[in-house]
Amino acid sequence: MKWDIHQFETLESTNATALLCPVGTVVMAESQTAGRGRYGRTWQSPKGNLYMSLVVPDFGKDNYALPFLTAVAVADSLPGFEISLKWPNDVLLSGKKLAGILIEKADDKLVVGIGVNVMTSPTDGVLYPTANLEGRLRPMTLAKRILLQYNTLLDLLQKKGFKEIRKRWLSYATNLHKPISIHLADAEFQGIFKGIDAKGALLLKQKSGTRTLNVGDVFFNLNKDK
């Protein structure tokens, strides 16, 4: 895909702006005044970090693959760093949250929001410990890397389907075959993380069998996940 990059000093949200743009547009901002993450959570957005949104076509039945594809694109863009992935699409650095992804739909397109802690990382109101790249990459350098990897993975998805994206995602997956806890709005489940199924749902092995989950927050240290 050919990308048309638009840069701004400050936006309310790169996703909000991108929702008004055609497919192929990339919206970047040095800072956001109303950045957001999954479930409407606030994404703190000071200057120095990467905030960008990609406008891509609606892939219909294959839309479920995009969170995993995007996470792998970010991970592949950071060779030399201790990168892992947490279901469904958090990118971790040395076990701490480095990047988040938010995908939204509008008409016949999707907006893929990516936030990476390049220079600083939030500390207030976060669910997990956070990390940053300590300024070792410029936001634009990282953005170009991600776009390059994104195109490679889109091509892989179109040629070989989600199976290959799933394999790549699992190669980065953290706590695979280890105990995890899944928190939903009104429930909590514990078990062994057995990977993801053919549609990206989390597989949680419990004494009663394997539970399949499509939503929830994953925690690893079961003694400190409250």
The residue out of 172, 190, 207 marking a domain boundary is: 172
Domains of the chain: total: 2
SS3 41: coil
Classify 42 in phi/psi space as left (phi over 0), alpha (psi -120 to 50) or beta: beta
Angle between the N-to-C axes of helices 162-172 and 66-76, in degrees from 0 to 180, rounded to the nearest 10: 50
Average pLDDT, the chain: 91
How far is Cα 60 from Cα 82, in angstroms, rounded to an integer? 33
Query: What is the structure's pLDDT at 123?
Result: 73
Give me the mean pLDDT over the 160-167 stretch: 96
- Do 214 and 158 share a structural domain? no
Query: What is the structure's pLDDT at 21?
Result: 96
Query: What is the structure's pLDDT at 225?
Result: 38
Query: What is the structure's pLDDT at 43?
Result: 57
Tell me, yes or no, whether 224 lies in a domain: no
Residue 221 confidence (pLDDT) above 80: no
- Do 81 and 26 share a structural domain? yes
Residue 39 confidence (pLDDT) above 50: no
Query: What is the structure's pLDDT at 40?
Result: 52
- Do 142 and 76 share a structural domain? yes
Query: What is the structure's pLDDT at 124?
Result: 67
- Do 13 and 36 share a structural domain? yes
Pairing of strands 4-11, 179-183: unpaired
Range name among 31-45, 85-99, 198-212 with the lowest pLDDT average: 31-45
CATH number where 107 lies: 3.30.930.10
Give me the mean pLDDT over the 50-65 stretch: 95
- Do 207 and 143 share a structural domain? no
- Tens of pLDDT, residue by residue over 80-129, are 999 999 999 899 999 999 998 999 998 889 999 999 999 998 776 677 88
Q: Residues of the chain with pLDDT > 70: what percent?
A: 91
Residue 158 confidence (pLDDT) above 60: yes
- Do 119 and 19 share a structural domain? yes
CATH number where 197 lies: 2.30.30.100
Residue 190 confidence (pLDDT) above 90: yes
Burial of 226 (0-12, 13-18, 19+ CB in 10 A): exposed
Q: Two tokens at 198?
A: 């053919």
Any idea which residue has 């995009």 for tokens? 66
The residue out of 153, 172, 191 marking a domain boundary is: 172
The domain of 208 spans 179-219
Q: Does the CA dihedral 37-173-109-26 come out positive or negative?
A: positive
Residue 47 confidence (pLDDT) above 90: no
For the beta sheet containing 217-219, the strands, ordered from the edge strand earlier in sequence to the opposite edge, are: 209-213, 202-206, 188-196, 179-183, 217-219
Which spans in the chain are helix H?
14-18, 66-76, 139-160, 162-172
- Do 193 and 128 share a structural domain? no
